[in-house]
C-alpha cells in the first residue's frame, strides 16, 4: 500500500493507489464488522412484521461465513483472498439477500482474478462484474432493492476510476452513490414507501461498503476476529434429524382435594425435576402430567395434597427404545427384503421449523431435514450438506420458505448429484409436495408433479405482529394478531378468533374439502382443538385435522385443499 | 380340443357368470375367529363387510389345499377335458398358486396325461376374472391349450390395477403391504392409492381426500393410453359409483362392476375401490 499525502499544510487526506491481499482482507473484515454492528437496525427495516428471515441477520451471517478463513490468513495475493472470500460466502449464504451478496463477492473475485495487487480501475471493473452476477442471480430483477444499490455503486466506481487512481476517493464516491440509492428505494418500490422504510438488502450492502470506506479512511481498525461463533460458523449439521431420547417416567394422575393451588403445585413439581409439566384444573380437581426420573417423589407429593385417581405411569425409555427397536427391526427386515433396485432413487430434502412439523415430514419419509431455525434461513452449505448426505443421486429440495428458494437453487451448481428445487414457500406447500410424490414416476416428472401439488394448496398463517406496519392497505399495530394468506398479509386485528375467521373467509375456505390446522409451540392442544371445533361449527362440510406443528412465531398455520 | 378353465374365488367372478362360462372356481377360506367360510359360497361381499363391522378381531384368510385342486382337476378330466388352464391369484400375495402346482404335480399317473397349465396371474380380482372369462370364451371356440394360455398371458401383461384405500392398516396387518410400507407412518390422514406391479403391492400416491384420490386415478388411467377394457372392483356400490363418476370422462366404454370378495376385503378393508385396466 503506497501512501501519499496530498495538499501539505492543509488537512491531510489519505491517498491509496494500490491494494494487496492483506489490504483487501482488512477492508472486508471492517465491512463485515460494521454490518454486524448494525444488523439489528437493518432487521428493523423488514417490512413484514414477523421476525423470520431478517435481512440484517442473514447478510451478516453470510459475511461472517465469508471471512472465517481469510480472517487469520497472511496471504498477500488479492486474487487469492478474493477467491477464498467468494467461495466461503457462497457456502455461508443465507436468505435471498445473502445469496445476492455472495454473488457480488463472486464478481469481485472474478474481476480480481490473477491480480496480486489491484488499483482503482481494477476495483471498478470488479464491481462491474459484481453487478453483472448479482443481477444474473435473480430470475426477476426488481429495482428498489439491493440490485439497484449494487448497480449505482458500480457506476460510481467506474466514474471515479476514469478520473483518478485513488482508491479512497473511489470508495467515497461509491458510498455516496450507495447511500443515495438506498434513500431512493422507497420511490422505486411502493411497499417500501407504504411501510415508510428503505430496502433492507440495499441498506445492508451499503453498510458493508461504509465499513470498508471507514477502514480505508483510517477511521476504524479491522475487526480483530470474526464475530461470535453463533453467527460465524455454519452449524456442522448434516441435515439429519436426531432422534430424541427420553429418560425417566411419564406420570399422569388426577388429584382431588380442596383449596388446591394450581400454580404452586406446578412450580413445586418443576422444582422436583419434573419436565414437560402440565397442571390444569381448579382448586378441587386437577390433572397432573409430568416427566420425571423419580415418579415416587411426585406421587408422594400428590398424596400429601389430596387423593389420586387414574394414575398412569409409563417408562419413557422403554417406549422410545421400543419405538427404536420396532423401527430398527422394521429397518432390518426392510434391508433384507431390499434388492439393489429398491434403494431409493429419488431423495427429498426439506427445510423444516418446528418439532411437530419435523415429525410430519419424517412420517412422509423425507430423506433429510435441514432445521430452519428461528430467524435464520439455512445457509447454502447446510443445504448442500444435506443433499450430499442422502444415498440417492437424484435429490428434490423443498425450501418451504420464500427466502430460502434462491439458496436452494445455488446447490445444484455445487454438487455432482442431480438436484431439482420445488419452489415451496411454506411448510404446508412442502407437505403437499411430498404427498404428491409418485413412487412410480421418474425424477423429472416428480419434480413437475410435486410443484403442481404445492401450487394447489392454500396456506394461512396466524401470528402476532412484532411491530407496526402498513402493507397492502392493511394497518397493523404492534401486538395485533395478523393473518397471512399465501405470503400476503391480509388481516389484522386485536381479537384472535375474529382474525382467524376473517382470514379463513378471505381464503374462500368453503371451496375446499380438508383443512389441516398446525398449532405452534406456544399453543396447547386444547386451545387448538377449540379453534378447530369452532371452524367445524361454522363450516360443517369441512374435514378438519389438528396437528401439533410446534413451529415458532406462527400460532396457527392452516392449509386448505 | 376341450379345454376347461379353473380359477379361484379371489377372481371375484359372480357365481352365475362363472357357471355360465363353464369356469370352475376353487374357493379360498376366510376365518372369523373360530368360524370358517368358503369365499363366494358361504360368504359374499355384503356378508363379509357386515361381519367385519361387527367383529372385534380381524379375519384371516387361507389358500385352498392341494386336495381341493386335485378334486377339481380329477372331476374335469373325468368329464372329458383334454387340457386344463388354471389361473390364480398372484403368487406373491398367496400360496394358492403353489397349491395348484402341487396338485398338478401329484396327480395319479393315469390322469397325468392331460396337460394342466397353472398360471400365476400376478394380478387379483377382476384382473384374474377378466383373463378367466377370455380363456373360457376361447375354450368354447375350441382353441387349444397352448394358444389360450398365450392369449391369457398377453392379456395379463396388459392388465393394471389401481386401488384407493381408506387406510393401509388392513394391508399392513395382512402382511402383503410390500413396498407400500413407504407410505406408513404418515401423520396426516390420506386415502392411499396402491397398484399391483409384478404381482405385488406398490405405493402410488397419497392424496388427502377420496375425491382427490378418484381424480388422480382417473388421470393415471388416462395416461395409460388407449384401453381395451376397464372394470371397477368395489367394497360397496357407493364407492364404486364414485369412482365410476371420476372415470367416465376418460373412458367411454361400459364399465363392469364387481364386488370385492371376502379374501381381498380382509387384506384391504372397508371403502376399498379399484380400477382394473386392460390396455390395448
Residues B256-268 have pLDDT tens digits of: 999 999 999 999 9
Looking at residue A191, what is its pLDDT? 87
Q: Chain B: give the shortest CA distance to residue A443, in Å.
A: 14
Give yes or no for A435 touching B (CB within 8 A). yes
What chain B residue is nearest to A450 in terms of C-alpha separation? B205
**Contacting residues for A78 by C-beta, under 8 A, at least 6 apart:** A19, A20, A21, A23, A24, A112, A115, A116, A117, A118
B188 vs A547: CB contact, 8 Å cut-off?
yes
What chain B residue is nearest to A449 in terms of C-alpha separation? B205
Domain boundary among A171, A200, A232: A232
Residue A12 in any domain: the answer is no
Interface of A with B in 279-298 (CB under 8 A): none
Cell of A223: 475487526
The answer on A228 and A244 residing in a single domain is no
Least CB–CB distance from A365: residue in B182, B189, B202 = B182
Task: Read off the pLDDT of residues B97-113 as tens digits, 9 standing for 90 and up.
Answer: 999 999 999 999 889 89
Q: How far apart are CA A23 and CA A104, in angstroms?
A: 19
Given this structure, which CATH class describes domain B3-28+63-157?
Answer: alpha beta
Cell of A491: 388481516
Q: Chain A: give the shortest CA distance to residue B184, in Å.
A: 7
Least CB–CB distance from A514: residue in B186, B206, B208 = B208
Looking at residue B52, what is its pLDDT? 94
Choose the mutation target among A335, A342, A364 for the interface with B, i.e. most B CBs under 10 Å.
A364
Domain map of chain B by residue range?
3-28+63-157, 159-279
Give yes or no for A365 touching B (CB within 8 A). yes
Interface of A with B in 111-150 (CB under 8 A): none
Q: Check residue A240 and report its DSSP letter.
A: P
What chain B residue is nearest to A358 in terms of C-alpha separation? B187
The strand pairing partners of B7, in sequence order, are: B25
Number of independent structural domains in chain A = 4
Domain that holds residue A197: 21-232
B211 vs A513: CB contact, 8 Å cut-off?
yes
A483 alpha-carbon distance from chain centroid: 20
What chain B residue is nearest to A517 in terms of C-alpha separation? B188
In a 10 Å sphere around its CB, with 0-12 CB exposed, 13-18 middle and 19+ buried, how is residue B40 labelled? buried
| Architecture of the structural domain at B159-279 | 2-Layer Sandwich (3.30)
Looking at residue A13, what is its pLDDT? 65
Q: Chain A: give the shortest CA distance to residue B53, in Å.
A: 23
**Contacting residues for B226 by C-beta, under 8 A, at least 6 apart:** B279, B280
Residue A3 in any domain: the answer is no
Q: How far apart are CA A92 and CA A102, in angstroms?
A: 8
Q: Chain A: give the shortest CA distance to residue B108, in Å.
A: 38
What chain A residue is nearest to B203 in terms of C-alpha separation? A439
Task: Read off the pLDDT of residues B156-191 as tens digits, 9 standing for 90 and up.
Answer: 999 999 999 999 999 998 889 989 998 998 989 999
Q: How far apart are CA A206 and CA A213, in angstroms?
A: 10
E-assigned strand segments in B43-192: 60-62, 83-88, 116-120, 159-164
Chain A CB contacts of B205 under 8 Å are 435-439
The answer on A252 and A392 residing in a single domain is no
The answer on A130 and A29 residing in a single domain is yes
Q: Is B193 helix (H, G, I), strand (E, B) or coil?
A: strand
A435 vs B189: CB contact, 8 Å cut-off?
no
Instruction: Tell me how many residue pairs between chain A and chain B have CB atoms under 8 A apart.
Output: 55
Residue A83 in any domain: the answer is yes
Interface of A with B in 524-543 (CB under 8 A): 543
Least CB–CB distance from B205: residue in A362, A436, A547 = A436
**In the structure, what pLDDT confidence band is assigned to residue B79 with cuts at 50, 70 and 90?**
very high
B181 vs A334: CB contact, 8 Å cut-off?
yes
Residue A15 in any domain: the answer is no
Of A123, A195, A134, A193, residue with least CA distance to A162: A123
The answer on A363 and A222 residing in a single domain is no
The answer on A388 and A336 residing in a single domain is no
Interface of A with B in 338-357 (CB under 8 A): 342
Residue A54 in any domain: the answer is yes
A435 vs B204: CB contact, 8 Å cut-off?
no
Least CB–CB distance from A435: residue in B185, B190, B195 = B190
The answer on A424 and A379 residing in a single domain is yes
- CATH at A481: 3.30.1180
Looking at residue A29, what is its pLDDT? 97
Q: How far apart are CA B123 and CA B126, in angstroms?
A: 8
Looking at residue A97, what is its pLDDT? 92
Give yes or no for A441 touching B (CB within 8 A). no
Residues of chain A under the 70 pLDDT cut = 1-13, 53, 220-247, 276, 316-343, 374-376
Judge whether A353 and A372 are in contact, CB under 8 Å.
yes
Residue A7 in any domain: the answer is no
Residue A354 in any domain: the answer is yes
The answer on A243 and A219 residing in a single domain is no
Domain boundary among A313, A340, A367: A340
Q: How far apart are CA A210 and CA A171, in angstroms?
A: 9
A513 vs B204: CB contact, 8 Å cut-off?
no
Give yes or no for A516 touching B (CB within 8 A). yes
The answer on A33 and A132 residing in a single domain is yes
The answer on A202 and A78 residing in a single domain is yes
The answer on A462 and A450 residing in a single domain is no
**Contacting residues for A416 by C-beta, under 8 A, at least 6 apart:** none
B3-28+63-157 matches B159-279 in fold:
no
The answer on A501 and A450 residing in a single domain is no
Q: Chain A: give the shortest CA distance to residue B28, in Å.
A: 27
Looking at residue A247, what is its pLDDT? 56
Task: Read off the pLDDT of residues A246-274 as tens digits, 9 standing for 90 and up.
Answer: 457 888 888 889 888 887 888 888 888 77
Estimate the crossing angle of helix A496-506 against helix A525-538, to 10 degrees: 50
Q: How far apart are CA A457 and CA A557, in angstroms?
A: 12
B187 vs A359: CB contact, 8 Å cut-off?
yes
Q: Check residue A243 and report its DSSP letter.
A: P
Cell of A19: 491494494
The answer on A95 and A39 residing in a single domain is yes
Q: How far apart are CA B10 and CA A259, in angstroms?
A: 66
Looking at residue A546, what is its pLDDT? 94
Cell of A147: 440490485
Amino acid at each position: 500500500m503506497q501512501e501519499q499525502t496530498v495538499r501539505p499544510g492543509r488537512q491531510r487526506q489519505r491517498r491509496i493507489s494500490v491494494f494487496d491481499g492483506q489490504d483487501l482482507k482488512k477492508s472486508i473484515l471492517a465491512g463485515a464488522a460494521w454490518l454486524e454492528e448494525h444488523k439489528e437496525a437493518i432487521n428493523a427495516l423488514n417490512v413484514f412484521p414477523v421476525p423470520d428471515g431478517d435481512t440484517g441477520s442473514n447478510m451478516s451471517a453470510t459475511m461472517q461465513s465469508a471471512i472465517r478463513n481469510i480472517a487469520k490468513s497472511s496471504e498477500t495475493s488479492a486474487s487469492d483472498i478474493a477467491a477464498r472470500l467468494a467461495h466461503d460466502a457462497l457456502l455461508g449464504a443465507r436468505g435471498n439477500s445473502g445469496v445476492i451478496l455472495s454473488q457480488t463477492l463472486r464478481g469481485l473475485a472474478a474481476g480480481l482474478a490473477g491480480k496480486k495487487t489491484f488499483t482503482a480501475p481494477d476495483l471498478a471493473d470488479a464491481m462491474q462484474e459484481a453487478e453483472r452476477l448479482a443481477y444474473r442471480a435473480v430470475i426477476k430483477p426488481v429495482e428498489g432493492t439491493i440490485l439497484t444499490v449494487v448497480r449505482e455503486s458500480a457506476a460510481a466506481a467506474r466514474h471515479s476510476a476514469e478520473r483518478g487512481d485513488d482508491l479512497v476517493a473511489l470508495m467515497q464516491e461509491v458510498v455516496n452513490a450507495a447511500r443515495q440509492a438506498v434513500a431512493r428505494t422507497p420511490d422505486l418500490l411502493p411497499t417500501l414507501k407504504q411501510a415508510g422504510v428503505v430496502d433492507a438488502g440495499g441498506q445492508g450492502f451499503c453498510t458493508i461498503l461504509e465499513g470498508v470506506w471507514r477502514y480505508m479512511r483510517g477511521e476504524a481498525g479491522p475487526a480483530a476476529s470474526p464475530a461470535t461463533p453463533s453467527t460465524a460458523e455454519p452449524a456442522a449439521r448434516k441435515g439429519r434429524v436426531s432422534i430424541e431420547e427420553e429418560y425417566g417416567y411419564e406420570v399422569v394422575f388426577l388429584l382431588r382435594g380442596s383449596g388446591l393451588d394450581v400454580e404452586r403445585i406446578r412450580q413445586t413439581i418443576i422444582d422436583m425435576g419434573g419436565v414437560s409439566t402440565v397442571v390444569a384444573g381448579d382448586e378441587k380437581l386437577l390433572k397432573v402430567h409430568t416427566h420425571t426420573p423419580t415418579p415416587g417423589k411426585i406421587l408422594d407429593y400428590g398424596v400429601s395434597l389430596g387423593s389420586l385417581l387414574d394414575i398412569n405411569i409409563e417408562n419413557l425409555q422403554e417406549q422410545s427404545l421400543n419405538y427404536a427397536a420396532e423401527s430398527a427391526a422394521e429397518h432390518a427386515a426392510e434391508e433384507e427384503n431390499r434388492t439393489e433396485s429398491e434403494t431409493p432413487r429419488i431423495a427429498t430434502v426439506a427445510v423444516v421449523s418446528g418439532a411437530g412439523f419435523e415429525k410430519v415430514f419424517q412420517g412422509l419419509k423425507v430423506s433429510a431435514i435441514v432445521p430452519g431455525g428461528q430467524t435464520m434461513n439455512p445457509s447454502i452449505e447446510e443445504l448442500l450438506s444435506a443433499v450430499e448426505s442422502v444415498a440417492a443421486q437424484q435429490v428434490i429440495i423443498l425450501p418451504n420458505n420464500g427466502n430460502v428458494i434462491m439458496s436452494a437453487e445455488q446447490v445444484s451448481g455445487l454438487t455432482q448429484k442431480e438436484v431439482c428445487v420445488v419452489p415451496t414457500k411454506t411448510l404446508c406447500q412442502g407437505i403437499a409436495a411430498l404427498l404428491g410424490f409418485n413412487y412410480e414416476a421418474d425424477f423429472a416428472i416428480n419434480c413437475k408433479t410435486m410443484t403442481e401439488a404445492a401450487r394447489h394448496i392454500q396456506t394461512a398463517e396466524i401470528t402476532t405482529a412484532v411491530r407496526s406496519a402498513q402493507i397492502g392497505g392493511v394497518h397493523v399495530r404492534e401486538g395485533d394478531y395478523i393473518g397471512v394468506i399465501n405470503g400476503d398479509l391480509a388481516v389484522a386485528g386485536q381479537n384472535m378468533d375474529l382474525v382467524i375467521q376473517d382470514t379463513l373467509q378471505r381464503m374462500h375456505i368453503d371451496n375446499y374439502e380438508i383443512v389441516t390446522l398446525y398449532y405452534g409451540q406456544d399453543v396447547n392442544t386444547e386451545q387448538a382443538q377449540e379453534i378447530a371445533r369452532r371452524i367445524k361449527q361454522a363450516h360443517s362440510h369441512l374435514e378438519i385435522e389438528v396437528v401439533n406443528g410446534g413451529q415458532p412465531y406462527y400460532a396457527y398455520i392452516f392449509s386448505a385443499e | 380340443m376341450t379345454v376347461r378353465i379353473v380359477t379361484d374365488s379371489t377372481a371375484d367372478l359372480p357365481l352365475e357368470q362363472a357357471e355360465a362360462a363353464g369356469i370352475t372356481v376353487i374357493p379360498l377360506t376366510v376365518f372369523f375367529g373360530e368360524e370358517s367360510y368358503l369365499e363366494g359360497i358361504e360368504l359374499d361381499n355384503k356378508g363379509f363387510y357386515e361381519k367385519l363391522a361387527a367383529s372385534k378381531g380381524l379375519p384371516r384368510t387361507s389358500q385352498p389345499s392341494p386336495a381341493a385342486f386335485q378334486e377339481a382337476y380329477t372331476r374335469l378330466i373325468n368329464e372329458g377335458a383334454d387340457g386344463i388352464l388354471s389361473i390364480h391369484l398372484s403368487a406373491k400375495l398367496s400360496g394358492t398358486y403353489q397349491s395348484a402346482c402341487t396338485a398338478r404335480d401329484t396327480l395319479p399317473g393315469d390322469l397325468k396325461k392331460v396337460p394342466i397349465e397353472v398360471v400365476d396371474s400376478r394380478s387379483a380380482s377382476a384382473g384374474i376374472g377378466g383373463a378367466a372369462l377370455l380363456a373360457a370364451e376361447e375354450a368354447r371356440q375350441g382353441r387349444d391349450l397352448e394358444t389360450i394360455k398365450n392369449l391369457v398371458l398377453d392379456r395379463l401383461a396388459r392388465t393394471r390395477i389401481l386401488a384407493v384405500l381408506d387406510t393401509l392398516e388392513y394391508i399392513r396387518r395382512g402382511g402383503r403391504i410390500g413396498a407400500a410400507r413407504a407410505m406408513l407412518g404418515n401423520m396426516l390422514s390420506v386415502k392411499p392409492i396402491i397398484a399391483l406391479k409384478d404381482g405385488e403391492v406398490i405405493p402410488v400416491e397419497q392424496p388427502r381426500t377420496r375425491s382427490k384420490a378418484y381424480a388422480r386415478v382417473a388421470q393415471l388411467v388416462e395416461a395409460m393410453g388407449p384401453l381395451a377394457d376397464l372394470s371397477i372392483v368395489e367394497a360397496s356400490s357407493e364407492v364404486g359409483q364414485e369412482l365410476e363418476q371420476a372415470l367416465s370422462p376418460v373412458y367411454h366404454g361400459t364399465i363392469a362392476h364387481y364386488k370385492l370378495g371376502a379374501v381381498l376385503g380382509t387384506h384391504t378393508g372397508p371403502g376399498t375401490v379399484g380400477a382394473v385396466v386392460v390396455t390395448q
